[in-house]
Structure 1
Amino acid sequence: MVNNAATVGRSGVHDFILLRASALILACYVLFMAGFFVITPQVTFEIWHGLFSSLAMKVFTLLAIIAVLVHAWIGTWQVLSDYIKGAFLRGALQFIFTVTLLVYFAAGFLTVWGV
């Protein structure tokens, strides 16, 4: 069996499952938030703060942030590997996008947990 060193242990099936799982998590989060806005007649700061002060909502939001990052990571990798043929440019762009995603994760984590 031949192993492809460029995939770092990932396969197409692995990416497919991660994309579908992250999309499912994001769909649940969007439906939950839409339901919250539909059933809450007036969203005040106290109601919003109460929603996001519960541990379950913090974990759910952090899970949604991670799902966005996984989805963006795989999507970016697929687009760059399909359309950018130069290895140096592709690597540089992938590095820039990876750093950006890490910054987004840090900002989301700090926002949700209020550190």
Structure 2
Amino acid sequence: MVNRHVIGAHYGLRDWLLQRITAVVMLVYTIGLVTFLVLAAQATYEGWQTLFSLTWVRVLSTVTVIALLLHAWVGIRDIWMDYVQPLGLRLSLHVATILWLVGNFVYAVKVVWGV
């Protein structure tokens, strides 16, 4: 009998699940947006404004942006961890990535909520 010892931070399953869940959230949002585009083929700027003035659309858009940023974080973090060996450079890239993703989130909230 093989006795396996699990060592480490257990990132594998958590990250795998996070990637799949965020992908599903983005897929559902994309399907909804494409459905709106197809059904409202002659949509005007006012139609888009009306759609995005609904609170549930804003909340769903914000949740999708969060899912996108988490999805990007896991992917980019794995790239830095796999391919960048010098610890200082890897840490700098992690911090730069986090700052960039937080900046994108702030900008997305400003755009979606009109803050």
TM (norm. structure 1) is 0.91
Q: Distance in 2 between matches of 1:21 and 1:64?
A: 11
Look at both structures and tell me which one has the larger radius of gyration over its CA atoms: 2
Q: Deviation digits for residues 36-56 of structure 1, max 9, x if unmatched?
A: 111102121110001000011
Q: Following superposition, which runs of at least 4 residues in structure 1 exceed 4 angstroms of deviation?
A: none
**Paired residues, what number?**
111
Residue of structure 1 equivalent to 2:12: 12
Q: Which runs of 5+ in 1 are unaligned?
A: none
User: Could you tell me which residue of structure 2 aligns to residue 42 of structure 1?
Assistant: 42
1:13-92 correspondence runs (5 A): 13-92=13-92
Structure 2 residue runs without a partner (length 5+): none
**Alignment TM-score, normalising by the size of structure 2:** 0.91
Using the aligned pairs only, state the percent identity. 32
Match of 2:105 in 1: 105
The CA deviation at 1:3 is 6.0
CA RMSD of aligned residues (A): 1.4
Distance 2:67 2:41 in 1: 29
